Structure 1
Amino acid sequence: MTTAADILDRCDELARHSSLPNGLIERVYLSPEHAAVNALAAEWMTAAGLATWQDAAGNQCGRLEGATPGLPALLLGSHLDTVPAAGRYDGILGVLLAIAVAERLAQSGRPLPFALEVAAFGDEEGTRFGTTLLGSRALAGTWQNEWWGRLDANGVSLDAAYRAFGLDPALIGEAARTPVELIGYLEAHIEQGAVLDDAGLALGVVSSIAGARRFQVVIEGAARHSGTPWALRRDALAGASEVILAIERIAREADLIGTVGHLALFPDAVNVIPGRVEFSLDLRGEFDPQRDRAWALIEQTAEQICERRGLTLTSVQTHGAPAAHCSPHLRAAVATGIRLAGGESSPTTLFSMAGHDAMAIAALTDIGMLFVRCLGGVSHHPDESVTEADVAVALDAFEAAVLALADQYDADEMDSEYDARAALR
């Protein structure tokens, strides 16, 4: 039986499949490293008693039948891709916990009133092609054909990368599942924050996942010699600096997160006033209307700043995702799992500012999430750290959450419900 120590060993084994040297981790979609970790995940799924397959989007999947073949499935999953110079637990821990839970239930001999499936998604981070959640969006049936032309840093298109990986872009629709095939989705993930660590808690229940909007903002002025008098300056960097501080102020006042993570200035010379500045904005919030009102105020304020300074402003939205709220009955199951695993009697509920595959799957079925403490809340960094004790209690809680859901269903009733759903296909 797979233990918490085994799961941590597997995290280390997966970390060795990287495109970066010196022990750093980077594993991107449709790469040789992606193929290697899919093969390992398939091996572990098979050993756990699951039937396995790689779907048309490159996600590695497994299935354990329920009391009778063909029942709708409870899907467990997370992702195996990483950001550059990543840690070894973001996404990966959730996949390995899901496989271990499936193994436990397969060996228990208890017939479940639903099937159990595991999905190891191939792309959540969007590192290679700049569009996040490609694996889970394909499974959710929300794939957009306009993505096929997206290029990676080497000029390779997503279409070409699919073919090189051995996939057929024309078959992408075969990865899509339908609502009648699933009863819900549960994901375990490290908390990408320090709420649990600060509180001394191993686990928490996720209430919702932030809706995000991303923008590319350009401010243009005039590039002039650094000796130009103040009255004649149209300094794009000074204007951008004022706008960025306004973004911070507006986001804080609205209880949102606003991040400027990329900034470039031109011509980027020590003795030249910057004539053009480009920067990104990632704006996240629990409620979409609140986030959208903040963006409208940011845009209005930025325009006023630029007008006062004689600058021009343009902005383009590059990404948009609605907030995803976890369903009450799946939240209750996760909370029950934490209590039964020896956690607190009233488990802590957290809001996730970070995005997850659950956001994409929310378009398909109900979602729920279990957060696992991460030391200091450090994520997307080699210092990402979890303890064996926390992984052990997370494994117990995740299994108990699945069994709590099973207790809500009767196999015969599920058969009838499945037949009714199938008639609607």
Structure 2
Amino acid sequence: MSAVDDRKPGGAPASTAASVVLERCDELATYTSLPGGLIERVYLSPQHAAVNSRTGQWMRAAGLTTWQDSAGNQCARLEGHRAGLPALLLASHLDTVPSAGRYDGILGVLIALAVAERINAGVAPADRPVALEVLAFGDEEGTRFGTTLLGSRAVAGTWDPDWWSLEDADGVTLHDAYLAFGLDPATVGDAARAPVELVGYLEAHIEQGPVLDEAGLPLGVVTSIAGARRFQIVVEGAAGHSGTPWARRRDALAGASEAVLAIERIARGEAGHSSGLIATVGHLAVFPDAVNVIAGRVEFSLDLRGEFDDARDAAWLGIKAAMTAMSERRGLRVTWQQTHSAPAAHCSERMRRVVAAGIRATERAGADPAAPPELFSMAGHDAMALAAVTEIGMLFVRCAGGVSHHPDESVTEADIARAVDALEASVLELFEQYRSEPGVEGTAS
């Protein structure tokens, strides 16, 4: 089926749907806490409330039943052939990093909504063997409270009560932010879905990498999502005058610099550890931070990711050993605290086949029948959280240069048209499977 095929069974043609999606991305970009056209929208903020409200209006206009759940996620549902059937979830997130682009997460929500609108218009209720839900998660990035996937973890039923004491930069706890947003912390568990309530999860997302762009391809199938561990690391020495002789120095910054280079070396596979890892030191603070004073303390972050948890964890053991040896040699003290841990999430074989079938359905007649490209995601996604409760699948959309988490995020209308078509075809493929599989819960009678 062509990306600009107007012969849809209902709903907007692909070209029109893509135009609406992009217009809505532009509109949601105006809901921001930053001046000068920059975008930042964090969990439980006034901007979060505003985008939930606006997205809810679009959901209702598409004929869906809407609600905001007990974790602040904006939700919508299209029933199947009868009320109460298990649901296929289509979802992504509406929150952003600071100085964000306008497509990371947001595009996935709006593509999902465009697909649900088409299904509602083009597939009779009697032909819907399961329900369809669109979820707009309130927190994937973790920008405000430092812990990612809060919205989707609530839906997956993996909420950690220890999170209530997390504080934002202004000292506001997550617990108090819930109250200020009009949510009841005691009911956060009501957002959780049981496995029997779901038939799967599909997420469209820009590729946060250049593979599709460099290959000249609009869409790809995600195979798995990297498992991530994050640490706060502190190197302590002794502050002193910059004239202190070399033999008397206990320079925390020099030690931290050596540790950062060791992290890079180990993650790149240059020290006997597995490759396929990514390690990022994105934050570093030096104390007392004076030009003529030896640093007495350095704090830095580590984000360690890998396709396989055992390789990632082996690299962390190597990093710890390297930092310990460095500290002993330099007379320093190194401590670390893990602040985040998420296992690698693998898209199920079934969902990978469904997404691939959806992509193939968008190809023009006579196109190369080669299988759609398969990609591993080093970036984390809400699908990781939902993997704890149902099968997951992901569709990657080409993003120019692979640029993400930056105002220069860029997609084309033609690619979005293909993505809407592909996700719709994936949903219809799942519908057909559930209609034809006897004994599968949700199958129409």
Category of TM-score, reference length = shorter chain:
over 0.9
Tell me the residue number matched to 2:151.
135
Question: Post-superposition shift, 1:417?
Answer: 2.6
Question: Post-superposition shift, 1:411?
Answer: 7.2
| 2:287 counterpart (266, 272, 275) | 266
DSSP-derived class of the 1:228 partner: coil
Q: Give the count of matched residue pairs.
A: 418
DSSP-derived class of the 1:258 partner: strand
Whether the 8 Å contact between 2:288 and 2:297 is mirrored in structure 1 is yes
Question: Post-superposition shift, 1:412?
Answer: 8.2
Whether the 8 Å contact between 1:213 and 1:282 is mirrored in structure 2 is yes
| 1:288 counterpart (309, 317, 323) | 309
| 1:243 counterpart (251, 259, 277) | 259
Question: Post-superposition shift, 1:404?
Answer: 1.2
Question: Post-superposition shift, 1:167?
Answer: 1.0
User: Are residue 158 (structure 1) and residue 165 (structure 2) matched?
Assistant: no
Tell me the residue number matched to 1:22.
36
Whether the 8 Å contact between 1:78 and 1:120 is mirrored in structure 2 is yes
Percent identity among equivalent residues? 71
Tell me the residue number matched to 1:43.
57
DSSP-derived class of the 2:240 partner: coil
Q: What is the TM-score normalised by the length of structure 2?
A: 0.92
Q: Tell me whether 306-315 or 288-297 shows the greater mean CA deviation.
A: 306-315
What amino acid is aligned across from residue 354 of structure 2 in structure 1?
A
Residues 145-224 of structure 1 aligned to structure 2 (within 5 Å): 145-224=161-240
DSSP-derived class of the 1:417 partner: coil
What amino acid is aligned across from residue 385 of structure 1 in structure 2?
S
Question: Post-superposition shift, 1:418?
Answer: 5.2
- 1:190-242 Cα distance to aligned partner (Å, 9 max, x none): 00111111111100000000000001111111111111111111111111111
Question: Post-superposition shift, 1:22?
Answer: 0.7
**Aligned partners of 1:244 and 1:307: how far apart in 2?**
16
What amino acid is aligned across from residue 401 of structure 2 in structure 1?
G
**Aligned partners of 1:379 and 1:412: how far apart in 2?**
40
Q: Tell me whether 177-186 or 138-147 shows the greater mean CA deviation.
A: 138-147
Tell me the residue number matched to 1:422.
none
What amino acid is aligned across from residue 417 of structure 1 in structure 2?
E
Tell me the residue number matched to 1:348.
373
Tell me the residue number matched to 1:382.
407
| 2:84 counterpart (70, 77, 80) | 70
| 1:339 counterpart (355, 360, 381) | 360
Tell me the residue number matched to 1:228.
244
Flag the 1:70–1:412 CA change in 2: closer, same or farther, 3 A. farther
| 2:397 counterpart (372, 387, 399) | 372
Tell me the residue number matched to 2:441.
417
- 1:99-152 Cα distance to aligned partner (Å, 9 max, x none): 000011111134221111110001111111111111101111111111112111
Tell me the residue number matched to 2:8.
none
Tell me the residue number matched to 1:423.
none
Moved runs in structure 1, 4+ residues, more than 4 A? none
What do you get for the CA RMSD once the two structures are aligned? 1.3
Whether the 8 Å contact between 1:67 and 1:411 is mirrored in structure 2 is no
What amino acid is aligned across from residue 383 of structure 1 in structure 2?
D
Whether the 8 Å contact between 2:399 and 2:409 is mirrored in structure 1 is yes
DSSP-derived class of the 2:298 partner: strand
| 2:298 counterpart (267, 277, 280) | 277
**Aligned partners of 1:366 and 1:392: how far apart in 2?**
25
**Aligned partners of 1:236 and 1:83: how far apart in 2?**
30
DSSP-derived class of the 1:184 partner: strand
Question: Post-superposition shift, 1:64?
Answer: 0.7
Whether the 8 Å contact between 1:114 and 1:411 is mirrored in structure 2 is no
Question: Post-superposition shift, 1:286?
Answer: 0.3
**Aligned partners of 2:441 and 2:405: how far apart in 1?**
42
What amino acid is aligned across from residue 355 of structure 2 in structure 1?
V
Question: Post-superposition shift, 1:413?
Answer: 3.6
Tell me the residue number matched to 2:120.
106
Residues 8-19 of structure 1 aligned to structure 2 (within 5 Å): 8-19=22-33
Question: Post-superposition shift, 1:348?
Answer: 0.4
DSSP-derived class of the 2:294 partner: coil
Question: Post-superposition shift, 1:319?
Answer: 0.6
**Aligned partners of 1:322 and 1:42: how far apart in 2?**
32
What amino acid is aligned across from residue 55 of structure 1 in structure 2?
D
**Aligned partners of 2:438 and 2:180: how far apart in 1?**
45
**Aligned partners of 2:177 and 2:250: how far apart in 1?**
44
Q: Tell me whether 403-412 or 59-68 shows the greater mean CA deviation.
A: 403-412
**Aligned partners of 1:173 and 1:385: how far apart in 2?**
37
Whether the 8 Å contact between 1:212 and 1:285 is mirrored in structure 2 is yes
Whether the 8 Å contact between 2:130 and 2:442 is mirrored in structure 1 is no
Q: Which runs of 5+ in 1 are unaligned?
A: 420-425
User: Are residue 84 (structure 1) and residue 101 (structure 2) matched?
Assistant: no
Whether the 8 Å contact between 2:282 and 2:302 is mirrored in structure 1 is yes
Tell me the residue number matched to 2:5.
none
**Aligned partners of 2:173 and 2:232: how far apart in 1?**
22
